Amino acid sequence: MFSNRRETGAKAKPDSQLSGTRPVWRKLVVGFGLLPLPILATTYAQQGFIAAGRAATSMAMPTGIAWLALWLLTIHAFSVGKMRTAACCFLLFLAWTLSGTPFTTDSAIKLVEYPLEESPHPAFEKRTPASTPFDAVVTLGGSASLILDDFAEINDDGERIVSAAQAYHARATRTLITTGTSTDGMDNPAEVSRELLISLGVPPEVIFSIDGANTKAEMKSLAEFLDSPPSEWLDIVGRDSSPEIGLITSAFHIPRAMRLASGQGLALTPLPCAFRTSKTSKPWLASDLIPNADNQLKLGIAMKEMLAALLGR
C-alpha cells in the first residue's frame, strides 16, 4: 500500500533533466569570466570601487545589456559547435563594441571637428584684446530649448551661447546675431538664444536675430541681413561696407557651416566651441571597453557630418 502511494505521488525529476540546466550555467560562468568580470576587476585595480561600480552600471544599461547578450550568444554558439553562428555573433559583438567605445568614436569625431586653435589662447574671449573687434558674432541655433513656456535651458551645445556672451563681455564683438526657426512654430532657437544671452548680461539692443530652419537657410538669412542690414545694427557697427563677422557653433558643425556660408558668398571667421574630444593626456582604462549610448551618439554626429559633406550639404 505504501509503495503504491509513493508511485502515485510527485515524481522526482530525472537526473538527465537536472543536468540539462548545468551547461547553461556553465556557459554563463565562462562568458562572464572571460570578459565582463576581468574588465570590472581591472577597473577596480585602476580606479577603485566607485569606478568599478560605474562600469557595472554601464553593463546594466540597454547598450551594455545588448553588448553582453551578443557576447554570451557568441560563447553559446561556439560551445555547441555552430561556428558560423558564433562568427556572426562575434562580428556583431565587435561592431557593437566599436560603435560605443572612445577608441572609435573619438577618432571619428576628430575627423569632422574644426581644430582648436591653441595660440594665442584657445578661448577666444581670452585672446589678446582686439583693437578692432568683430562687428558681429553669429551664434547658430540648436543650443537651447524651452523646458516650460517661459523657461529655457542650454543643451549639450549650449557652449555656443556661453561663448557668445563671453565674446561680448570681453569686447571682442560689437553685436551678436542669433539664428534659427523651429519647424513647428514653437521654441524658436533665435528667440530662446536671445533670452538666454540677455540673462547672461548681454544688452538686448546689441542682439539681432535671423530666421532659418536649418544651417543652409540660416546662412541665406545671414546673407540677406548683411545685404540690407537694419539701421539699428548700422548705428552700432558703422557703415563699413565690409563688416568683420565671426561664426560660433559646435566644432563638429563648423566645417559644414563654413561650407554653406561660402556658398552664400559669406566670408566668416570660424570660432568653434562645444568640442566632443579633448587633447588632454588620459591613461588607458579597462572601462573604456564597455560601449555606452553617449559614445554611440558621438559616432552618430560624426557620421551625419560625413554624410553631409559627401552630399555637399
257 and 219 Cβ atoms separated by less than 8 Å: yes
Q: What is the pLDDT of residue 200?
A: 95
How many whole angstroms separate alpha carbon 51 and alpha carbon 279?
22
Strand, coil or helix: 137: strand
Q: Which phi-psi region, left, alpha or beta, contains residue 121 (left: φ > 0; alpha: ψ -120 to 50)?
A: beta
What are the C-alpha distances in Å from 125 to residues 115, 244, 270? 17, 16, 14
Contacts of 220 (CB under 8 A, 6+ apart): 212, 264
225 CB-side CA count, 13 A? 23
- 65 burial (CB, 10 Å; 0-12 / 13-18 / 19+) is exposed
What pLDDT, in 10s, does the model give residues 100-113? 999 899 999 999 98
Q: What cell does 119 get? A: 595660440
**Taking the domains of the chain in order of start, what are their residue ranges?**
2-99, 124-273
Pick out the chain residues at pLDDT < 50.
1-10, 12-13, 15-21
pTM of the model: 0.81
Question: Per this entry, what is the length of the chain?
Answer: 313
What pLDDT, in 10s, does the model give residues 45-54? 999 999 999 9
Q: What is the pLDDT of residue 251?
A: 93
Q: What is the pLDDT of residue 3?
A: 47
What top-level class would CATH report for the domain 124-273? alpha beta
Q: What is the pLDDT of residue 31?
A: 77
